[in-house]
Structure 1
Amino acid sequence: MPTIKSSYLGNLRTTSSHIQSGKTIISDAPVDNNGKGEAFSPTDLVASALGSCMVTIMGIVAERNNVSLDGLDWEVTKIMDSNPRKIGEIVIDFHWEDPVSDPAMIQKLKNAARTCPVALSLDPSVKQTINFNF
């Protein structure tokens, strides 16, 4: 059974619906690739997925260990390569206002992030620069 149903809307824009939840997203080609840049580009979604996946896996580990991730946020920078046009690097900067004080737990969370399914699915040529600012 499909997970997502998508349609082309014209003008380099797509819509995708998550079948189970009914939630919808729109993607738009970026301005530097003939689009309007009015929504996430497909490569933006890949970069965003990496950060979200990392935090989801960190959240699973945190819940198992009764640790709160409250105050954790992150910024994603996507760097494109050309010839061929593709994602060259994804930089994720994590910030945590009040991190857990246990160094072993911090390391466990970092390890969990680096082994999330999206991180493991990206081609090795896509550099993943992950900065844990905590």
Structure 2
Amino acid sequence: MPISKITYTGGLHCEAVHLKSGKGLETDAPTDNNGRGEAFSPTDLMSTSLGLCMITIMGIKARSMDLDLEGTEIDVEKVMESNPRRVGEIGLTLRIPHNFPEETQRILEAAGRACPVAKSLHPDVVQSVQFVWGK
């Protein structure tokens, strides 16, 4: 069963709609690949998906421990490679505004690193992840 519908709208732009919710997003090619950078590029979305997946899985684990990660912010960086053109590295800095005990932090970090997107990325894509607790 389809999960989304993508429409190419021209000028290197696309619209994607999540079929269950009806919510959508737009993409554009990046400025370093013939686009105008007016929206997320597909590789931006891939990189951002890693952060979204990590915090979602961490949130599920936190909830099971009667904890809340509300207010967490993630900075996402993407490093492109050439020959072939691909994402070579995704850098994430998670700023979690809570000071949990070290063991709790270790459990939550392990949950995030085991998220489905992290496990689905090709091993050649370097995942540089930094957790900053209490910020």
> TM-score under structure 1 normalisation?
0.97
2:108 is the counterpart of 1:109? yes
> What residue in structure 1 maps to residue 53 of structure 2?
53
Matches within 5 A, 1:42-121: 42-100=42-100, 102-121=101-120
Q: Does 1:36 align with 2:29?
A: no
The equivalent of 2:13 in structure 1 is 13
CA contact under 8 A between 1:54 and 1:116: conserved in structure 2? yes
Q: Matches of 2:116 and 2:72 in 1, distance apart?
A: 20
| Cα contact 1:76–1:92 (8 A) shared by 2 | yes
CA distance in 2, matches of 1:98, 1:116: 21
Query: Shift in Å at residue 133 of structure 1?
Result: 1.3
What is the CA–CA distance in structure 2 between the aligned matches of 1:115 and 1:58, rounded to whole Å?
Answer: 9
Separation in structure 2 between the aligned mates of residue 64 and residue 12 of structure 1, nearest angstrom: 43
Q: Does 1:3 align with 2:33?
A: no
**Equivalent-residue separation in structure 2 for 1:70 and 1:104 (angstroms):** 19
The runs of 5 or more residues in structure 1 that have no matched partner are: none
**Structure 2: runs of 5 or more not aligned:** none
Structure 2 length as normaliser, TM-score?
0.96
**Per-residue deviation at 1:98?**
2.3
AA at the equivalent of 1:18? H
- The alpha-carbon deviation at position 36 of structure 1 amounts to 0.9
| Percentage identity across paired residues of the two chains | 46
Per-residue CA deviation, residues 10-52 of structure 1 (Å, 9 max, x unaligned), is 1111110000000001110011100111000000000000000
Q: Is the 8 A contact 1:6 1:17 kept in 2?
A: yes
For residues 97-121 of structure 1, the C-alpha deviation after alignment (integer angstroms, 9 at most, x for no partner) is 2232x21111010000100000000
Q: Tell me if the contact between 1:69 and 1:99 (Cα under 8 Å) persists in the aligned partners.
A: no
Instruction: State the AA in 2 paired with 1:127.
Output: V
Partners of 1:23 and 1:57 in 2: CA distance? 22
- Number of residues of Structure 1 aligned to a counterpart in Structure 2: 133
